[in-house]
A and B are shown apart, each in its own frame.
Chain A
Amino acid sequence: MSLSWVTIVWSALASACLTLAFVRLGSRRKQPSLARQLRASAAELRESESRFRDVANTAPVMIWMSGTDKLCTFFNQGWLDYTGRTLQQELGNGWADGVHRADLARCMEVYTGAFDAHERFTMEYRLRKRDGEYGWVLDTGVPRYASDNAFLGYIGSAVDITELKRGQENFRLAVEASPSAMVMVDQQGRIVLVNEQTEKTFGYARDELIGQPVEVLVPEEFRIGHPAHRAEYYAALCARPMGAGRELFGWRKDGSKVPVEIGLNPVHAPEGLFVLASIVDITERRRAEKKSAEQRNELAHLSRVTMLGELSGSLAHELNQPLTAILSNAQAAQRFLARGEVDLDEVRAILTDIVSDDKRAGEVIRGLRMLLTKGEMPYRALDLNDVVRDVLRLVRSDLLNSGVNVLTELALDLPAVNGDRVQLQQVLLNLVVNGCEAMTGAEDADRQLIVRTALTDEKSVCVSVADMGHGIPPENLERVFEAFFTTKTQGLGLGLAVCRTIISAQGGQLWATNNNPRGASFHFKLPANPARPL
């Protein structure tokens, strides 16, 4: 608010001038004899008055004085320059001719009222300028007294505040025109200004809010802590969003809550310090975000189910192995028992194996069920090494059948990442399956897939899947992530597009590079969770 600063500077200058004038007028010194004293006093007074006039006439403000009869006795050069009139025209009540007719009665009322009570007054009015236009002035008058405390009349100063007024008006218009709800609050937390959008967002009429504590707009559960937050804000004033990272809600007149985003700005005005809160109703955005998250999850699920369909053979095999072991173990035990050779140690060993094989089958089912789950999972701290292991276990038999040898280079002491385990498994499954497909037709020795995890720049965890296939033409390195871009005869070409959506939604990046000398690598990077070292 540069305009406010201008005003403050003006006011400071004006009061400095006045103080200087009073000091000069009121200064007295002890003299040895009365005659000399009087002579000296008269001379000093003349000098003092002349100095006052010099100061008053060169001061960048308009100065006036009046006598006990309320009639004006002095206007400085600044005043006369402003109105373009002579001192004679202005003296007495002449100055009132220049006051805008609409403001005159109020002005006279303030002036005479204060005058009779010998009180300081401040008023704003329009004063005709030299060019005939009216300018807004801020006029401050103070009573003046002789050394014996006799009331002498008033001295006052006026400054042009037209620009300030225009600024205030612009400010008001800007606030009014804002598409956000704007609420200005004073240091006591009272609402001093709201715009039309505030009325719409919160369901209150303007008059119902002005003068109320801002807490009427805060939901009950947050109301108690709010004054403390306000105090914190005043302690460290800056323009910033409110409630860093928290979900904020407004409280409507009808008692409903509205999700909002709030920006706070300190406003330094002549009247003091204010905080202007810009409040955006994000109901629609929330709804859109929710919808897009739902669609993303839906698509992710669809693509997961499709992929699991392709992997069904492998998955069935993973389930079949423990079932085979369980059946054979159980039937072996039956046979041992039937033959009457009851070796309890052997039976115990068989039962132990059955239990562990059954658990393993359960794990496979659990993993599958998780992958088939629809909908959003809460983000959890995850070890990406675990995700890699889970995925490789699921596709083990597929890898065997396609003759692909998988090497893992998993970094130790990997920090956790925050994410959706299922969707990350899906991404990795996609990358591994793609890597294998990229190597079909290659020599046995060349069918090698390397899965690496690494901590990069201390802040993110990177997973890379490198194949030894033909690589990706450079012009397609980015296009492979486009929906429906595919080089395969099967599949929709959605896999990588969905993967990228998943990784982006979890705050990470997914990209492809070509290896030297051959093959391609897909990498994804997720921010490390600093709070959770594993």
Chain B
Amino acid sequence: MSNPAPVVFVIDDEPAVLKAIARLLVSAGMRVAAFGSPQEFLDRYDPAAPGCLVLDVSMPGLNGMQLQQALIEKDCALPIVFLTGRGDIPSSVQAMKRGAVDFLTKPVDDSSLIAAVRRALEQDFAGRGERGEIAALRQRLATLTPREREVLGHVVAGRRNKQIAAVLGTTEKTVKVHRARLMEKMQVESLADLVRITGRAGIAPTP
């Protein structure tokens, strides 16, 4: 991936805490951008930029949990490390269910925070890689003709050419040609590979 270096976005309404957390992450060699409120972050954030969020739960206006929800709705998968002043179990459960990387209680020890941020950055990196792969598969799928797309569904369902020909009302030979073309377009060598990548792209076998 030729993406720029990831950035840790720290959001806390408390200037002293914001400054200290940012400093700590900088001391761990990370690139940090600090924001005094979720709104400020939303106004300036570029979804294409890689990184992760370190987010205070309770803030005036939009709070941490609401920002998480807003990002999910925007289809933005930036991993979040939550910081909270109180060990609030219901909100930590909710945050984790929605995919938060960690939910840390203030005051937070440097090693826990840094480890959590590293995990978040790895998750973002991996996520971006996976999202890139899926995007490529989708592009390849888009090159298939409707007939090839139809044949693909039956192929990944494990049907033989003869069976597919019977279902589609065509000859076995035509099905064989479609099959070869779609294998080529999807850039796979074997049926096993085809099944794996279509699975990841979310294509269900035709029943």
Contacts and interface: CB of A to CB of B under 8 A. Distances in A.
Given A316-B86, A329-B20, A400 B58 contact: yes
A336 B26 CA distance: 9
Interface in B95-118: 106-110, 113
A247 to B, nearest CB: 49
A513 to B, nearest CB: 28
A61 B21 CA distance: 107
A350 B58 contact: no
Interface stretch (A22-30, A93-101, A212-220, A318-326): A318-326
Nearest to A319: B85
Given A321-B85, A357-B16, A350 B23 contact: yes
B63 to A, nearest CB: 8
A328 B23 contact: yes
A327 B108 CA distance: 8
Interface centre among B21, B24, B58, B85, by most chain A C-beta atoms within 10 angstroms, is B85
Interface in A305-354: 313, 316-317, 320-329, 331-336, 339, 350, 353
Contacts of A316: 85-86
A256 interface: no
B14 interface: yes
B20 A400 contact: no
A201 interface: no
B17 interface: yes
Interface residues of A, number: 29
A400 B59 contact: yes
A324 B27 contact: no
Given A316-B85, A400-B58, A321 B106 contact: yes
Contacts of B59: 400
A331 B59 CA distance: 24
Given A332-B26, A400-B60, A325 B17 contact: yes
Nearest to A327: B107
Contact of A325 (B16, B28, B86): B16
A149 interface: no
A401 interface: yes
Given A325-B19, A397-B58, A400-B58, A320 B27 contact: no
A516 to B, nearest CB: 28
Interface string A349-380: 01001001100100000000000000000000
B32 to A, nearest CB: 11
Contacts of B24: 328-329, 331-332, 335
A341 to B, nearest CB: 9
A353 B17 CA distance: 10
B107 A320 contact: yes
Nearest to A318: B85
B61 to A, nearest CB: 9
Contacts of B14: 321, 325
A232 B144 CA distance: 116
Contacts of B16: 321-322, 325, 353, 356-357, 360
The bracket for how many chain B residues form the interface is 20 to 34
A448 to B, nearest CB: 13
Contacts of A320: 85-86, 106-107
B107 A332 contact: no
A353 B107 contact: no
A324 B20 CA distance: 8
Contact of A324 (B23, B60, B106): B106
B112 to A, nearest CB: 11
B83 to A, nearest CB: 8
A313 B28 contact: no
Nearest to A354: B20
Given A317-B85, A328-B17, A400-B59, A323 B27 contact: no
Contacts of A326: 20, 107
Interface in B138-155: none
Contacts of B83: 324
Interface centre among B20, B86, B107, by most chain A C-beta atoms within 10 angstroms, is B20
Contacts of B85: 316-317, 320-321, 324, 397
Interface string B157-180: 000000000000000000000000
B19 A324 contact: no
A350 to B, nearest CB: 7
Contact of A335 (B86, B108, B110): B110
B107 A323 contact: yes
Given A320-B106, A328-B24, A313 B86 contact: yes
B21 to A, nearest CB: 5
Interface centre among A320, A334, A356, A360, by most chain B C-beta atoms within 10 angstroms, is A320
A401 B59 CA distance: 8
Contacts of A405: 60
Interface centre among B24, B59, B113, by most chain A C-beta atoms within 10 angstroms, is B24
Nearest to A312: B86
B106 A323 contact: yes
A324 B108 contact: yes
A332 to B, nearest CB: 4
B17 A321 contact: yes
Given A327-B107, A335-B110, A405-B60, 7 more contacts: A313-B86, A321-B16, A321-B17, A332-B24, A335-B28, A353-B19, A357-B16
Closest 10 CB pairs of A and B: A335-B27, A328-B20, A331-B110, A317-B85, A324-B107, A324-B106, A325-B20, A332-B23, A325-B16, A332-B27
19 contacts: A320-B85, A320-B106, A321-B14, A321-B106, A322-B16, A323-B106, A324-B107, A327-B107, A327-B108, A327-B110, A329-B23, A329-B24, A331-B24, A332-B26, A333-B27, A335-B28, A335-B110, A360-B16, A397-B58
Interface of B: 14, 16-17, 19-21, 23-24, 26-28, 58-60, 63, 83, 85-86, 106-110, 113
